[in-house]
Structure 1
Amino acid sequence: MTRVREMLSLARVPSILVLGVVYVTYVLIGGVIFWKLEGDLGQKDIGRLLTSKKNLLTTYTCLNQDGLEAVAQVVQDVSKVGLSLKGNHTTDGFWKFTSSAVFAATVVTTIGYGNMSPSSTAGQIFCVFFALFGIPLNMVVLNRVGKYMLVMERNISDFLEGKTGRRKCTRFFVHLVSYLSGAVLFFIGPMIVFQLREGWTYSQAMYYCFITLSTIGFGDFVADSNPDKEYPDWYSVLMASWIFFGLAWLALLINHSIDILERLNTHFKQRCGGQRQEGETGGTERDNPDTQADEEEIKTPPIAQ
């Protein structure tokens, strides 16, 4: 057994290479699953749309291919500015103050739905510089808010530890309550609001909540953007607040998950590699980039409380 451990330590693969292989494999597996789940459905959608196009040209004989393309262009242009084609009423479009403020929030948070974007040259240039300084500022603020959330958790945990004297159980309970309350506040509550205000299903609303707070931002579902609905001003303010604090909470949750994975990684390294003497591995570990990275993480000062 000792001989096998020595051989494994000699043939040790850098962890960055292992992580790279795992990452690429994970992405490829995801691509295969999406291909199988959505590929056939996409082909059915294409066939259905071609049939609808044929029926449209058959029904409206005065509409030829050029006319259909012109109508499609009008529909596309109208949807880009947030106007409605239903009825005779008009709307204010996307670029109201409230929706513009939400758009600014999606820029600095890198969500970028894509349902609205600046079309003027001045607006595009301003967007570049606004994002250039706004994205780092947003990261700093979110990091600070996340630290305050973590400090609150630790203070509550320390208080309960002093009352109960059970450290592990208390920390587990505090983390569990934090996760559940965050899920209710940033997922379940908004999911119900979006289902009522937007008319989505619960699964669509939950999907939108995660796609938004993870900053993926596909743009297939976007709240406060339906031109056929009238939204109160408080709705945009509520959305912007939800995005900001939800991002901070999800970042805290991801940091907890990373911490758990790193602890598991350290545990398995100790089990597989065993305890090595400092004199045997001192020079090797200093030349190892993985060890250097670990030392840099250890030297990083803890979060100030």
Structure 2
Amino acid sequence: MAPPKKPQPGVVQSSLVQASVAAIQNPMGYEAKTHEPCSLPRRSISSRSASIVASMDAVADGSALHSVMKWKTVLAVFVVVVLYMVVGGLVFQALEEPFESEQKNTITQEKALFLQGNPCVSPAELEALIKHSIDAVSAGVSPIGKSSYNFSHWDLSSAFFFAGTIISTIGYGNIAPRTEGGRIFCILYAIIGIPLFGFLLAGIGDQLGTMFVKSVLKVEGIFQQKHKQISQTKILVTSTILFILAGCIVFVTVPAVIFKHTEGWTTLEAIYFVVITLTTVGIGDYVAGGDKMIEYKKWYKPLVWFWILVGLAYFAAVLSMIGDWLRVISKKTKAEVQFTD
């Protein structure tokens, strides 16, 4: 038998971009024409359903099981994740536990000093007042000052923003339904809304990813015309990094500057909020539009939610494309190793 032909470097390298286009425009895995990398045809819903059924049949008869991650690999990844969590827990404990202990000692001393200076107030009355204050804060009402009483977590713009945090699974946790009816509706709303939002996010990510890859291809073509001595891989990596940086400026830097001036946050706090939001961590210690002392415009919170929507879709598309490229590179490496053997 004749030895297998070694793949040409130019063809293999260009397959990185083609694979990204195929993964974005062809999510169901059907075969596309190889000579049209940027204009892949789209199938109807019935055709995609048939592709899904065929894929399921392939898994059932064992022909597609080679692509499933092995249990040893799953176990290794699980161990890595657990170790990562342990390291993270130890670091957070070292950074945050001393501050927590300091706050506990401070509040205990302040309560004792208040009772000493106000002998007419009993410890039980003070505890009741503190409990009522905590309940008020949990309900979205700040007991500090008087102007904040005009602030509402449940006006239309705030309720719209809260609904968006539910279906996007960010869930800041700074506010929550306090009535039984609100909690029941929240459950039903999340069950229906989360898949709907995921479908919308996938669609926007599909379009953004297609635009992203086409832009990379254009930049790659320009570089190849002017700098033919530069390898295609370097051009691809450089153009991709440039577009990722441009996206970070649009979805991270600019919003952080806006939040810094609108909310009165520091630069670190603004960047912290942006990253925690776009990664859907949603801790809730910093929330745009959550300061009860600031009078926000009615369109501010809806605008923040639309930024979240497009930002999530953009970074999902970027991460998906990077993952596709890594898989192509992995296959290329395996092919070269097998060829040398």
TM-score range, shorter chain: 0.7 to 0.9
> Are 1:26 and 2:84 an aligned pair?
yes
Q: Is there any run of 5+ residues in structure 1 with no aligned partner, and where?
A: 1-11, 278-305
1:173 pairs, out of 230, 238, 259, with 238
What residue number does 1:258 align with?
Answer: 323
SS of aligned partner of 2:150: coil
The number of residues matched between the two structures is 264
Please list the CA deviations of residues 133-169 of structure 1 after superposition, one character each: whole Å capped at 9, or x if unmatched: 1111111111111111111012122233333436434
1:191–1:205 CA contact under 8 A, matched in 2: yes
2:157 pairs, out of 98, 106, 111, with 98
CA distance in 1, matches of 2:294, 2:126: 27
> Are 1:16 and 2:74 an aligned pair?
yes
What residue number does 1:124 align with?
Answer: 183
The structure with higher relative contact order (CA 8 Å, sep 6+) is: 2
CA distance in 2, matches of 1:159, 1:58: 74
1:142–1:247 CA contact under 8 A, matched in 2: yes
Change (3 A) 1:173 1:275: closer
Change (3 A) 1:259 1:72: farther
CA distance in 2, matches of 1:161, 1:261: 19
Change (3 A) 1:159 1:183: closer
Change (3 A) 1:263 1:159: closer
CA distance in 2, matches of 1:270, 1:18: 24
* Counterpart residue type for residue 118 of structure 1: P
Shift of 1:208: 1.1
> Are 1:37 and 2:95 an aligned pair?
yes
CA distance in 2, matches of 1:60, 1:268: 76
1:105–1:240 CA contact under 8 A, matched in 2: yes
What residue number does 1:217 align with?
Answer: 282
CA distance in 1, matches of 2:317, 2:338: 33
Q: Is there any run of 5+ residues in structure 2 with no aligned partner, and where?
A: 1-69
1:81–1:93 CA contact under 8 A, matched in 2: no
Shift of 1:109: 0.5
Shift of 1:98: 0.2
> Are 1:160 and 2:219 an aligned pair?
yes
Change (3 A) 1:193 1:174: same
1:157–1:170 CA contact under 8 A, matched in 2: no
RMSD after superposition: 2.6
CA distance in 2, matches of 1:73, 1:103: 25
Q: TM-score, normalised by structure 1?
A: 0.78
1:142–1:248 CA contact under 8 A, matched in 2: yes
Change (3 A) 1:21 1:86: closer
Change (3 A) 1:270 1:171: closer
> Are 1:58 and 2:116 an aligned pair?
yes
CA distance in 1, matches of 2:333, 2:114: 63
CA distance in 1, matches of 2:168, 2:82: 26
Q: TM-score, normalised by structure 2?
A: 0.70
2:252 pairs, out of 187, 190, 201, with 187
